[in-house]
Structure 1
Amino acid sequence: MDTPIFDPETGEVLQAGGDTPPAMQAMSLDEARAMLVRAHGVAVSSDDPILMLVSLHQGFIADYEAMLKRHDGAIRGFLGATGEACAEAVENVLASLKDKTVKASIDNAFALVERQAVTMEQLRAELRRHRRVHIVLTVLTLLGAGLVAGTLTLFIR
């Protein structure tokens, strides 16, 4: 597996992705007997009880390493499932936040349009009032101009 393994408390990389520790090569019984001859000058037979204990120990170590490999696989599977569940939960929260943000933006836009509609209606009412005042002033100006023109015409004749 290429994913690194992290310590959950410290965040320290315990095993980098793809890196597996080298397997320990156990010494064979013949190598052990040859080493005893070289180091101590003593030959040990293959039915020696100490060598039998070494054989048993090597068997236990092989079983222990197999168990550790199974546990490593189970832990990787658990961490993968947990990571996927966390990623899915984060995506759901982000989608929910996005939905809430979009809804809030739409609500704000509608409120702004509503305020603008009220303001536009106020502006229209004000323009109608100004238009009436302009009409009255225009009529008064025309009446005044007619009165002045009529008065001047009377004086001129």
Structure 2
Amino acid sequence: MGEPIFDPDTGEIIETGGGKPPAPMAMSLDEARALLVREHGVAISSNDPILMLVTLHQGMVRDYEVMLRRHDDAIRGFLGATGEACAEAVENILASLKDKTVKASLDQAFALVERQAQAMDRMDRTLRRHRLIHSLLTLLSLVGCGLAIAILFTIVR
């Protein structure tokens, strides 16, 4: 353990020496003074130019953070508007594709129904023709059977 380090203005013990913890992210002036004591073993007064430089740096960092927040907000707004516009465009395209797909599916279904109706008409005509031919052949068969029976009766008699 090292010797205690005193503040030159107040005479208070700032640091007792020893281990060196890492510097904090946002540092107050008192923390900056304590850091200098820890790192270099030097105590400085509150009106030291180094502390003034720390104050200016902290102010600049605060201003920079405010500027970054404004930029982040502007970028979020821009990306949000762009994202909404893209989402709307995609929805419109999907709706259009959906409408086109539904229309194409309906057109295909109607075309299929029409082709099936035409096939049914052809089959109906074919069945009528087959019925007519079948009826004629049946009539011819009956006439042939009748003639054969008549010839058989004339021979047998």
Instruction: Check whether TM > 0.5.
Output: yes
The aligned residue for residue 19 of structure 2 is none
Change in 2 beyond 3 A, CA 1:71/1:155: same
Task: State how far apart, in whole Å, the 1-side matches of 2:27 and 2:117 are.
Answer: 86
The amino acid that maps onto 2:112 is L
Distance 1:41 1:151 in 2: 148
Give 1:45 deviation, angstroms.
Answer: 5.2
Give structure 1 stretches of 5+ with no counterpart.
1-22
Residue 152 of structure 2 is aligned to residue 152 of structure 1: yes
Following superposition, the deviation at residue 80 of structure 1 comes to 2.4
Check the 8 A contact 2:32/2:54 in 1, yes or no: no
Q: 1:116 to 1:34 in 2, by over 3 A?
A: closer
What secondary structure does 2:26 align onto?
Answer: coil
CA deviation profile, 1:23-63 (whole Å, cap 9, x unmatched): 930341x44445556736464452x4554343233222212
Task: Give the CA deviation at 1:107.
Answer: 0.7
Give % identity.
65
TM-score (norm 1): 0.70
Give 1:89's aligned residue. Answer: 89
Query: Number of residue pairs matched?
Result: 133
Per-residue deviation, 1:131: 1.4
1:96, distance to aligned residue in structure 2 (A) = 1.4
Distance 1:42 1:102, change over 3 A: closer
Instruction: Determine the C-alpha separation between the residues in 1 that align with 2:102 and 2:37.
Output: 82
Higher CA-based Rg = 2
Q: TM-score, normalised by structure 2?
A: 0.70
Q: Tell me what 2:119 maps to.
A: 119
Gaps (5+ residues) in structure 2?
A: 1-23
SS of equivalent residue, structure 1 residue 24:
coil
- In structure 2, the residue corresponding to 1:26 is in which secondary structure? coil
Show the counterpart of 2:128. Answer: 128
Inter-CA distance 123–33: structure 2 relative to 1 (3 Å threshold): closer
Partner of 2:110: 110
